[in-house]
Amino acid sequence: MTSSARPPTRPFEAWRGDWADRIKSRLAARGCSTMASFAATNPTASLEALADALGPDDVAAIQVGWLYLDEAKANGTMKHCARDLLVRELHARLPGGWNSRRGNVEVVLPRVHAISAWTASVSSHLPEYDLLVGAIGDRIITEDPFPEGWLPTDVDDSTLVAFFDRNWIEPDLGHRG
């Protein structure tokens, strides 16, 4: 088992105390002022690998994801964050790149798992983005928009940016009274 896939020695240790402050202090100790800046240091690492780098025994991948999403929402960078998280899922689940053979279960199933994991990682923490990421995920699965062998190297991959520019419509998060 790789270090990024192993469970913490003490699984509940990640939730003790103020875990968000603990992670933020570890980011600062690494010279990163934000989760986005830390994530950018390894643009294809899974959230599990990022959590392991911050503290293999007391940082959980879900905490890294939550902090990253909260930061992106607060800073108005959700589209960038969503692309980044998708890059990470694609690398984790499609290491050989995008395969366009339709109808082949061995090809389609890993893509569906990657897209489902990505939509869940965003919408489970920020439900206001559920319809948007669900629609984008559906388009990826049904339209098969990426070329054979494609695997983005980072969040600024031109194919991915163009796809998101065509499909990302920021939800209206205004409060209605």
Does residue 83 sit in the same domain as residue 63? no
Last residue of a domain, one of 60, 76, 92: 76
Does residue 82 sit in the same domain as residue 163? yes
Does residue 38 sit in the same domain as residue 83? no
158-167: pLDDT as tens digits: 999 999 999 9
pTM: 0.88
Extract the residue ranges of the chain whose pLDDT is less than 70.
1-11, 100-103, 174-177
Residue 177 pLDDT? 38
Three-point CA angle 141, 112, 1, nearest 5°: 150
Three-point CA angle 137, 138, 139, nearest 5°: 90
Residue 3 pLDDT? 42
Residue 92 contacts by C-beta under 8 Å, 6 or more apart in sequence? 46, 114
Does residue 54 sit in the same domain as residue 92? no
Structural domain range at position 52: 9-76
d(CA 114, CA 166): 20
Residue 4 pLDDT? 47
